[in-house]
Amino acid sequence: MEEEISRGDSSAAQQRLDKVTEIQSFLISDEAVRIADLLLAEKAVPKGSEEDALHIGIAVAQGADFLLTWNFKHINNAEKKAAITRLIESAGYACPQLCSPEELGGMQDD
């Protein structure tokens, strides 16, 4: 996670890094990889977006309640969220709430 949010504008990247210092990171399990592969195979996440699929797979495999993302192209938009949720739930998993930190509301400036 830290590698991805470190990219881009250095000032914006530092703000993102500052916001996530208290958030627990999860390990990549075989189950997370299987879920990511399913998301890609069923085209819920497009080919070439393997990192995005893996982020979702990790969150699902770990039983996370939320997956915070600023990725509105491949994860956090109405069409993608619906497709991802349907696929995850049809595979027998609970899908975490896919949202931006701003939507969650817990990462707003003091």
pLDDT tens, position by position, 65-108: 999 888 899 899 999 999 999 999 999 999 999 998 888 875 45
What's at 67, amino acid-wise?
Answer: L
C-alpha span between 72 and 90 (Å, rounded): 23
Helical packing angle, 50-61 and 78-90, nearest 10°? 50
Check whether 110 has a pLDDT greater than 60.
no
Closest CA to 45 of 17, 11, 79: 79
For residue 52, the model assigns a pLDDT of: 93
Q: pLDDT band at 1, cuts 50/70/90?
A: low
pLDDT recorded at residue 3: 65
- Note the pLDDT of residue 4: 65
CB 56 within 8 A of CB 36: yes
How far apart (Å, rounded) are the C-alpha atoms in residues 93 and 51? Answer: 20
d(C-alpha 62, C-alpha 58), whole Å: 6
- pLDDT band with cut points at 50, 70 and 90 for residue 31: very high
- Specify the pLDDT at position 106: 56
Dig out the tokens for 11 from the structure. 């000032």
